[in-house]
Amino acid sequence: MNDNDLISKLVHETLEFAENQQVDDVNFLQSNFFNIKAKYDYSKRCYIIQNHSLSLIEIPENWGPFKNRIATEFTITKNEDKFLFLDILSIHFDRKIENLRVSLENRSERFIMRGAA
């Protein structure tokens, strides 16, 4: 048995274990994420999410899943959504969203400007 076979076997066993344990939500197993981009507005100190009909949602930088966010991309799944953010976005985008991937645009610029102040 070569190394590739061992790794394949370990991955298969891990996935099989997750299925047998009835794991509802394992991030790395899910590929059905709804993708959005949130742009930071410096004057309002909030993130802005725009839907396809150009309606906007403004989210304060210190609220819910955006509070103390360091990464420029993160995911939220139904099981870990204690702020009901997915329900809000489901209404905003007029579709059921259970898994979300958020990309924060101009995030690095925000920290550069804060450091300069």
The answer to the question of residue 9 being in a domain is no
Identify the domain containing residue 104 by its residue range. Answer: 27-116
62, part of any domain: yes
> Is 21 within a domain?
no
In angstroms, rounded to a whole number, what is the distance separating the alpha carbons of residues 107 and 29? 27
Task: Write the DSSP assignment of 21-39 as a string of letters.
Answer: TT-S--GGG---PEEEEEE
Q: Is residue 49 part of a domain?
A: yes
Asked whether residue 3 is assigned to any structural domain, the reply reads: no
Is position 82 within any domain?
Answer: yes
Find where tokens 């150009």 sit.
54
Tens of pLDDT along the chain (117 residues)? 455 677 777 777 777 776 666 555 555 555 689 999 999 998 999 999 999 888 999 999 999 988 888 888 999 999 999 999 999 999 999 999 999 999 998 866 555 555 555
* Tokens 């400007």 -> residue: 113
* Number of domains making up the chain: 1
Please report whether residue 13 resides in a domain.
no
Concatenated DSSP letters of 91-103: HHHTS--SEEEEE
Q: Establish if 105 belongs to a structural domain.
A: yes
